[in-house]
Structures are given as structure tokens and as C-alpha cells.
Amino acid sequence: MTENMIICRCEEVTYKALVETANQYNCSARELKLRTRAGMGYCGGRTCRHMVDKMAADLTITKQTDITLKYQPPIRPISFGHLGADES
């Protein structure tokens, strides 16, 4: 059940994909992000960044302080009303 749990909703990256990638390549959090695209979707990692950090720390020998992912907010936030507005 846990294997199919989606960690990154934007890129639809599962727990299983993250674990397999981390084990295969002994990835840091940054490498894990680049190899799986976790944290690279619309939200920019706001929902999954901490989980990817934790998984990389648990699955590798790297210290937690050495593997923090960069958080980059959008240049200009917009509301859902503007995002779905009809521009006719």
C-alpha cells in the first residue's frame, strides 16, 4: 500500500519510485529530485520537499543538514480566479 502512495502530486512521483531511485543511485536529496522530478512541479516542492529531504536522509548516509532542497516560490503569485478566468 505504501509503495503506491504519491509523494509529489504535481509530478505523480510515488514512494516506491523515490525509494528505488535512492537505493539504486545512493542519491542526495538534490539528485533524487533531479532523477525523479519530485518537487519540480507547479508547486515548486512546497508540498513534498520535506518528505523528499527526509527520505533521502533515511536512505543514504548523508547528514540531514547537507541535503536541503532549494525552495523557490513563483515570481508572482496569482489567484485561482485569475488562473481559470475566461479572457474572451
**How far apart are alpha carbons 32 and 14 in whole angstroms?**
12
Which grid cell is 61?
A: 548516509
What does pTM read for this prediction? 0.64
Q: How many residues does the chain have?
A: 88
Query: Is residue 56 in a domain?
Result: yes
**How far apart are alpha carbons 5 and 13 in whole angstroms?**
9
Query: Is residue 80 in a domain?
Result: no
The helix or strand, by DSSP H or E, that contains position 36, with its residue range, turns out to be helix 29-36
Identify the domain containing residue 18 by its residue range. 2-69
- Say whether pLDDT at 23 is over 70: yes
Tell me: the pLDDT tens digits for 9-20? 989 999 999 989
Task: Locate the DSSP E strands across 1-88.
Answer: 6-8, 13-14
Query: Is residue 87 in a domain?
Result: no
Contact 55, 23 (CB under 8 A): no
pLDDT computed for residue 32 by the predictor: 86
Question: For residue 40, what is the domain's CATH number?
Answer: 1.10.10
Q: How many domains does the chain have?
A: 1
Q: Give the pLDDT band of residue 74 (cuts 50, 70, 90).
A: low
